[in-house]
Amino acid sequence: MTTPANANALTTDLDLMRSVAGRTDTRNEEIRAMLQAFIGRMSSVPPSVWGGAAATRFKDVVDRWNIESTKLYHALHGIAETIRYNEAALREAAETHAHHIATAGGHL
């Protein structure tokens, strides 16, 4: 049994990388909107219903939640940007290599 010549080759689907980055952005915005809607609904409860120690504790939880959701938003944004940067760098490298190969082939 023989192994195909490119079986151990590193391959990259550049269009897939771009698509994944876009989907990451979309999900990131969906998560952010969902969290903001939830906090908005919970924060709209009137003080007459939600007061004292429970309200103070809830405010502390919301503050922590906002900090963590901001971290999540920035992390997902960073992941999408890194994927885009890597896709562009790999695409440029592939184009440069293809140009060099074509140039070298023209001199044969």
Question: What total of structural domains would you count in the chain?
Answer: 1
Task: Flag whether 71 is in a domain.
Answer: yes
The pLDDT tens digits for 61-106 are 889 988 999 999 999 999 999 999 999 999 999 899 888 888 888 7
**18 close to 87: Cβ distance less than 8 angstroms:** yes
Per-residue pLDDT at 75:
98
Domain-embedded: residue 9: no
| Global confidence as pTM | 0.72
The 8 Å CB, 24+ separation contacts for 32-41 are 32/69, 32/73, 35/65, 35/69, 39/65, 39/66
Identify whether 80 is part of a domain.
yes
Domain residue limits at 72: 14-43+52-102
